[in-house]
Amino acid sequence: MRRKKTDMPQAAPARRAARKRPPQPCITLADYYMGRDRLYPQELTPELAANARRMVERANALLQRAGLRRAVNSGWRPAAINAAVKNAAKNSRHLHCLAIDIDDDDGALDAWCMAHPEVLEELGLWLEHPSATPRWCHLQIVQYGSWAPGKPRYFFP
Ligand SMILES: [Zn+2]
């Protein structure tokens, strides 16, 4: 015989509460350092460590807003690492823990960022134009050289 809905076990509210807990951060500081904090400890100044924390915090906030879970493609680059990265800018923001590359094989994150400049503004992020980042999404927490309020949040390398 079918039970009435009111006879059902009352587990639903607890489950609902669990769902409301903020999601685990997608990207950790360790993900961002990629083991290079142990290989190049002398280069990781307190200033760079503070930048890295801010970068990871904003990247996670963005992923949460976009509803995407993604991994780090490239995080902090000590000088020797950056020099070995093909096509890396000599003065790359990655050197100073001010930029992150996030995996974006399908381009969904890049597309979301282009469609939501107001979120980039709110979070304090700038985006390298998707045409220059085919399988990743480059975000940085400092403005690009010629940026001024009202200008696009994206830039071309
Ligand atoms: Zn990058």
* Tokens matching residue 152: 């696009």
Q: What is the pLDDT of residues 93-129, one digit of tens each?
A: 999 999 999 999 999 999 999 999 999 999 999 999 9
Domain 26-155, second-level architecture = 2-Layer Sandwich (3.30)
Q: Name the CA radius of gyration of the chain, rounded.
A: 20
pLDDT of residue 107: 97
Tens of pLDDT, residues 20-29 = 555 567 999 9
Please give the distance, rounded to the nearest whole angstrom, from the Cα atom of residue 101 to the centre of ligand 1: 5
- 3-state SS of the chain is CCCCHHHCCCCHHHHHHHHHCCCCCCCCHHHHHCCHHHHCHHHCCHHHHHHHHHHHHHHHHHHHHHCCCCCEEECCCCHHHHHHCCCCCCCCHHHHCCEEEEECCCCHHHHHHHHCHHHHHHHCCEEECHHHCCCEEEEECCCCCCCCCCCCCEECC
Q: In terms of Cα–Cα distance, which of 75, 62, 96 is closest to 32?
A: 75
CA 94–ligand 1 middle distance (angstroms): 6
The domain limits of the chain are 26-155
Q: Separation of 146 CA from ligand 1 center, angstroms?
A: 18
Gap from CA of 137 to ligand 1 centroid (Å): 7
